[in-house]
Structure 1
Amino acid sequence: MTDYAKKARETDGKLRKKGGTVTLRRIVLGDDDPDTGKPEQTITDFAAAGVKFGYVAERIDGKLIQSGDQELLLSPLQLTGQPLPEPSTGDLVLINGARFAIHNVAKLEPTDVVILYTLQLRGN
């Protein structure tokens, strides 16, 4: 029987070695602020390891994948070792001062343990 939690830790180790720190930013909107009339925001950042790549030209179709989109292999674990919350298209990714919107999320999850997230990022 495969130990998928161990596989997730191994993936995390490889991404830490080959990649860098990535911030997953989750913004949750609350009630409207009576002074501004705009919803209050709660921002939570999660630090994890990841490796970012540009898409090869053959994969850029101008619709699903646009010129400038990036692919991010993201650890399922935070740098603290705790599980990373599952990224969603409402979240942002911060890498070296650049901010990206998540356009698509895929996960490698053979059981109920995520081993790797693959994100399609678009400049924001």
Structure 2
Amino acid sequence: MTDIHDRGRALAIRMLAPRSKGGKGLNLTLTKPGQKAYDPATSTVMAAPQAFTGSGLRESYKQTDIDGTLIHQGDVKLLVSPVQADGTELPEPVTGDQIRFDGKLLKVISVEPWNYAGVACGYEVQGRA
């Protein structure tokens, strides 16, 4: 029998799914910088970024929340699904990652995971263009 946290996760996944799959969200691409590796043949440091396809939806910050220090005018709040488009787990976004959402490239400023009793239900991401 599933508990309330598992049901909450399933609900979040359904609601944050792309509209084409019956949800309220849009597709997004989370890009994480790759692991740096030294190539002795070329004497360069290479890092191939990793891209993950997921979904989420955008919310606006209240005008009273925009203080100009932590939250700037134009910042975007994204609610991100914990699963990728193929159903596997989405890696947790971290500061410095990039998200392409609705045609805009956003830098991840902060992340607030929705983690209830060890169950990852999603992420609230502050993005900045």
SS at match of 1:28: coil
Contact 1:23-1:95 within 8 A present in 2 as well: yes
Give the superposed CA RMSD: 1.9
Match of 1:108 in 2: 114
Contact 1:29-1:39 within 8 A present in 2 as well: no
Contact 2:61-2:77 within 8 A present in 1 as well: yes
- Could you tell me how far apart the structure 2 residues matched to 1:120 and 1:38 are? 33
SS at match of 1:42: coil
Single out whichever of 89-98 and 55-64 deviates more from structure 2.
89-98
- Could you tell me how far apart the structure 1 residues matched to 2:9 and 2:40 are? 45
Give the drift of 1:90.
2.4
Where in structure 2 are the equivalents of 1:19-58 lying within 5 Å?
19-33=25-39, 38-58=44-64
- Could you tell me how far apart the structure 1 residues matched to 2:44 and 2:124 are? 33
- Normalised TM-score (structure 1): 0.87
**Structure 2 unmatched ranges of 5 or more:** 18-22
Identity %, equivalent residues: 30
Contact 1:50-1:72 within 8 A present in 2 as well: yes
Mark the CA change 1:112 to 1:68 in structure 2 (over 3 Å): closer, same or farther: same
- Could you tell me how far apart the structure 2 residues matched to 1:29 and 1:39 are? 10
Match of 1:86 in 2: 92
Match of 2:20 in 1: none
The number of residue pairs the alignment matches comes to: 123
Match of 2:83 in 1: 77
- Normalised TM-score (structure 2): 0.84
Give the drift of 1:35.
7.5
**Structure 1 unmatched ranges of 5 or more:** none
